[in-house]
Amino acid sequence: MTDRLWAQSGTGAAEPPRGASRRELDGAADDAVRRRRHWLREPKSAVWMALAAIVLIGGGRRLLWSWRARRAVARLEDPAVTPVEIEAVADFGRAGAWELLRIFSTAESEPVRHAAGRALARLWRDDQLVAEEEQAVVRRGYSVTWTARRRYPRSLHAAIPIVAAYDVPFLPDETSYVRAEDLEWSHRIVGARRAALEEFSEWKAGRGMTPISIIPDDFPTNGPHRLVLQTRVRTRGLSDAWEIELPHVPFQFDFDPVLRLDAILTVPDAARDEAIARAIRLESAPGDATSPARLASLGGGWVLRNPPQLAVVTPLPSDLAHQMTLEFDGAPGRFPAGSLVLGNQGLPRRDAPSTPAEPRRFDVAPTATLPDGVIERPGPRRVRVHLAADPELGWAHPDIRSVWPGQTVTNWADVEIIRT
């Protein structure tokens, strides 16, 4: 039996010496069994077990992560995938980058496209995209909105304001994403007949907006005429520094010799006139001794303290595009006081719930120096405002659809005139 124990011990111990006594043989066999049973207590065995556990746990987690990533990316191929599921793919790094770019480029649904764009913006912030992919995100997400009419009367002579707004609209304002502030823009507009607009602007971070003004008389032909927005963009403070020129975006308009200026005016109506007259009121500005007064120069050493405010209760039955003139009680004539433009108006439906509307208020003050003799001494005075429809003003603002053609005179309001 002792010989068998020596043979099965597997400890690599030397063979017992020949001629050894039974007691010696039994002691050597017991030592071999003891060494075989307590190998777990050895430090080297603990190290090997720890390494094995690390490999098994780490490999398992990696395998589980890879399985979840494949499942999330495969879900992107389903046409019924939701925006939440699309954004969640960014949790798996570059695993879904190409599928996100495909959805971002081909999806017709705007929520789906924006979800893919936000996921790509997150990968971009985590430095998971190469420079070419980052540029593709900006190029494909670049959006331009022109605010202007397509057709104007040929008889229009007033300046026409036009606005071109551009950005990458899906970029969130959160630090875990690339934001609009991380991009700088420079632009120019060709075709406006203005030399200053044809030079590239200074670099500016954030969403871009370029208001311009064109003069109809600068375009002798009826058209069509084209304005072209040319934009450059570069990164700001990101790991990859690059600069690219974006696609040119045109805007076409023309002048119609048949279209009349008064075509924008609505048909006169007594009920509409009464509704507009009730909705417009001139109010004295509230005085507050603790806050500084608002001052409007009248010229000749006179100042209007806290100009009155025109309160307009909306919605109105028609849009307003009216020139304002100010009348002083006891003084001859009326004096220009700017304009009032309110678009997108219209009375609510009969079945809509009636809620009290908060008036919109506008300061009213002369826009030019008053002639001598209008103001002779300081003190309280009364003023009122005359409003007259201006179809050219209505055509110049694209939000105006139908201008009330009438004229109205407000109530008298108290003001205070002081010396400069």
At 59-85, the pLDDT tens digits run: 656 655 555 656 656 666 667 778 888
Looking at residues 340-355, what average pLDDT do you find? 65
pLDDT of the residue at 399: 87
8 pLDDT band, cuts 50/70/90, is: very low
Count how many Cα atoms sit within 13 Å of the Cα of residue 7 in the half-sphere of its side chain.
4
- The segment with the largest mean pLDDT, out of 38-42, 142-146, 327-331, is 142-146
Q: 296-338, pLDDT tens digit by residue?
A: 888 888 888 889 999 999 888 889 999 999 999 888 889 999 9
Q: 357-369, pLDDT tens digit by residue?
A: 678 899 898 888 8
10 pLDDT more than 50? no
Helix (H, G, I), strand (E, B) or coil at 105: helix
Q: State the Cα–Cα distance between residues 126 and 240, nearest whole angstrom.
A: 12
pLDDT of the residue at 420: 85
pLDDT of the residue at 312: 92
140 pLDDT more than 60? yes
pLDDT of the residue at 67: 59
Burial profile 151-165: b = 16 or more Cβ within 10 angstroms, e = fewer = ebbbebebebebebe
Q: State the Cα–Cα distance between residues 198 and 188, nearest whole angstrom.
A: 5
162 pLDDT band, cuts 50/70/90, is: very high
Tell me if the domain spanning 143-259 has CATH number 2.60.40.2910: yes
346 pLDDT more than 80? no
Between the alpha carbon of residue 417 and those of residues 57, 122, 364, 382, the distances in Å are: 84, 59, 14, 10
How distant is the alpha carbon of residue 56 from its chain centre? 48
pLDDT of the residue at 21: 62
Greater pLDDT, 230 or 103: 230
pLDDT of the residue at 107: 77
pLDDT of the residue at 228: 95
4 pLDDT band, cuts 50/70/90, is: very low
Closest among 227, 226, 223 to 211, alpha carbons compared:
227
22 pLDDT more than 70? no
> What is the percent of the chain with per-residue pLDDT over 70, rounded to a whole number?
77
pLDDT of the residue at 370: 87
Domain ranges of the chain: 2-37, 46-139, 143-259, 262-419
Q: State the Cα–Cα distance between residues 73 and 86, nearest whole angstrom.
A: 9
374 pLDDT more than 60? yes
List the Cα angle 85/87/89 in 5-degree steps.
Answer: 75
9 pLDDT band, cuts 50/70/90, is: very low
350 pLDDT more than 60? no
pLDDT of the residue at 2: 46
Greater pLDDT, 66 or 244: 244
388 pLDDT more than 80? yes
Q: DSSP for 190-238?
A: ESSS-TGGGSPPPPEESSEEEEEEE-GGG--S---EEEEEEEEEEESSS
pLDDT of the residue at 373: 81
Looking at residues 240-265, what average pLDDT do you find? 93
pLDDT of the residue at 324: 94
Q: 171-191, pLDDT tens digit by residue?
A: 888 888 888 889 999 999 999
Cβ atoms 113, 104 nearer than 8 A: yes
58 pLDDT band, cuts 50/70/90, is: low
Mean pLDDT of the chain: 82
Quickly count: other Cβ atoms within 10 Å of residue 130's Cβ: 12
Cβ atoms 333, 294 nearer than 8 A: no
Cβ atoms 117, 218 nearer than 8 A: no
204 pLDDT band, cuts 50/70/90, is: very high
